[in-house]
Amino acid sequence: MEITVKLFAMFRVGRFAATTKKYQPGISPVDITTELNIPEKEVGIVLVNGRHARLDHRLLDGDILSLFPLVGGG
């Protein structure tokens, strides 16, 4: 199945802005963050098809996964 992964802010450094790739059925955002060497504790927002989702959400063919880092500051 194909999933489009979009990375934002510092997650793009040394990676990509967006890519579409084939994954095994049953994959979740946490599996993809692990593959990309993005620590789970650094993930601030997870969107699947523009809607908030959890890291353990099961992705489906054609989904668009957007990953945003935590935002610091005050």
Structural domains of the chain, with CATH: 2-69 (3.10.20.30)
Q: Tokens for 69?
A: 């880092």
Average pLDDT for 50-57: 98
pTM: 0.94
Average pLDDT, rounded, for the chain:
95
Give the pLDDT of residue 71.
Answer: 83
* Residue 60 pLDDT exceeds 60: yes
**In whole angstroms, how far apart are CA 9 and each of 19, 32, 43, 60?**
15, 17, 11, 25
Q: Roughly how many angstroms between the first and final C-alpha of the chain, as a whole number? A: 40
